Amino acid sequence: MLMGEGVEWGLHCCLALAWLGDQAPVSTGRLAEVFELPPEYLKKRLQPLVRAGILSSSPGPRGGYSLARTPEEISLMDVVAAIEGRQDAFRCTEIRQRGAGAEAAGSEFARPCGVAQAMRRAELAWRRELAAQTLADLIAVSPAAAPARVRRFCRTLS
């Protein structure tokens, strides 16, 4: 499973927004500076999180992003699905029925193949694990100094 960097960026921005709750909304530019990311590209990565109801955005010079739900209500799967989409990672195209398989009796293909079943089980396990972990869980295992460091960094940008 290969996820784009947008997932990492989105999760870290959600963490930062949780730590900056009292300073929200936080502008795209400020979030970009926290992680030294290109602001325009970051904005494109945050928009799906707004559409999914994970973040809220407010326009204007004092606008920006804030968490739309509590950290306990945002699963890692919510963020991954918002950024990467909900499509299955593996798509079986039944190649077993082509070439040499074209000679086989149709009854051989009545059930999904073992490859498709194994890949589906693995993907479901991955999705369940991400759905079981929340932003609050990440906050709990973050370095103790990280929240204050991010808040301090953002105050110096003001």
The whole-angstrom separation of Cα 16 and Cα 24 is 10
Cα R_g (the chain), whole angstroms? 21
Q: Where residue 65 falls among pLDDT bands split at 50, 70, 90?
A: very high
φ, ψ for residue 30 (rounded to 5)? -65, -45
What per-residue confidence (pLDDT) applies to 94?
Answer: 87
What per-residue confidence (pLDDT) applies to 60?
Answer: 87
Lowest-confidence pick of 63-67, 71-75, 109-113: 109-113
Domain spans of the chain, in order of start: 5-87+134-157
φ, ψ for residue 127 (rounded to 5)? -65, -40
Assigned CATH topology for domain 5-87+134-157: Arc Repressor Mutant, subunit A (1.10.10)
Map residue 55 onto helix, strand or coil: strand
pLDDT of 1 strictly over 80: no
Please compute, for residue 93, the number of CA atoms within 13 A of its CA located in the half-sphere on the CB side: 3
The whole-angstrom separation of Cα 142 and Cα 35 is 16
Question: Can you state the percent helix, strand and coil of the chain, rounding each to 5?
Answer: 65, 5, 30
* 153 CB-contact burial (10 Å; exposed 0-12 / middle 13-18 / buried 19+): middle
| The dihedral sign for the CA sequence 123, 5, 16, 79 | negative
Map residue 105 onto helix, strand or coil: coil
The whole-angstrom separation of Cα 69 and Cα 65 is 12
pLDDT of 90 strictly over 90: no
Q: Model-level pTM? A: 0.86
Q: Where residue 73 falls among pLDDT bands split at 50, 70, 90?
A: very high
* 39 CB-contact burial (10 Å; exposed 0-12 / middle 13-18 / buried 19+): middle
